[in-house]
Structure 1
Amino acid sequence: MGHPPLIVFTDLDGTLLDHETYSYTAAQPALRRLAEVGAPLILASSKTAAEIAVFQQRIGCEAFPAIVENGAGLLVDVTDGQPPYQRLIAALAHIPARLRARFEGFHDLGPDGIARVTGLSPEGAFLAGQRQFSEPGLWHGTEAEQEAFLAALNAHGVQARRGGRFLTLSFGGTKADRMADIASRYGSPPSVALGDAPNDVEMLTTADRGVIVENPHGATLPQLEGEAEGRIVRTDRPGPLGWNTAMLDILDSMHL
Structure 2
Amino acid sequence: MLSLQDSLLVITDLDGSLLDHHTYSWQAAEAWLARLEEHEVPLVICSSKTAAEIVPLQKQLGIEGTPFIAENGARIHLTDQAGEPMVNGDARDYSDIVESLRRLEHQFRFTGFADFSDKEISDITGLTLRDAQLARIREASEALVWRDNEEQFDRFREALAADGLSLTQGGRFWHVMATGSGKGAAVNWLLDQLPQRPVTLGLGDGPNDAPMLDVVDYAVVIKGYSKNPVVLQRTDEQRVYHTAHHGPQGWSEGLDYFITQP
TM over 0.5: yes
Q: Write the mapping of 1:103-252 to structure 2, written as runs, cut at 5 A.
A: 103-172=110-179, 173-183=181-191, 184-185=193-194, 187-222=196-231, 224-226=233-235, 228=237, 230-252=238-260
Distance apart, 1:191 and its partner CA: 0.3
Query: Which letter maps to 2:187?
Result: M
Verify the 8 A CA contact 2:143 2:174 in the aligned structure 1.
Answer: yes
CA distance in 1, matches of 2:203, 2:133: 27
CA distance in 2, matches of 1:171, 1:180: 16
Q: 1:231 to 1:79 in 2, by over 3 A?
A: closer
Q: Write the mapping of 1:35-50 to structure 2, written as runs, cut at 5 A.
A: 35-50=37-52
**1:89 matched to which residue of 2?**
98
1:134-159 CA distance string (max 9 Å, x none)? 00111111110111112122221111
SS in 1 for 2:107: helix
Query: Which letter maps to 1:119?
Result: G
Q: 1:150 to 1:180 in 2, by over 3 A?
A: closer
Greater Cα offset, 82-91 or 50-59: 82-91
**Unpaired segments ≥5 residues, structure 1:** none
SS in 2 for 1:153: helix
Distance apart, 1:227 and its partner CA: 5.4
CA distance in 2, matches of 1:234, 1:79: 31
1:13-54 CA distance string (max 9 Å, x none)? 000000000000001111111111111100000110000111
CA distance in 2, matches of 1:186, 1:243: 28
Q: Structure 1 or 2: larger strand share?
A: 2
Percent of matched pairs sharing the same residue: 35
CA distance in 2, matches of 1:156, 1:30: 43
Q: Aligned-residue CA RMSD in angstroms?
A: 2.1
Query: Which letter maps to 1:129?
Result: R
CA distance in 2, matches of 1:152, 1:223: 26
**Unpaired segments ≥5 residues, structure 2:** 79-85
Distance apart, 1:244 and its partner CA: 0.8
Distance apart, 1:96 and its partner CA: 5.2
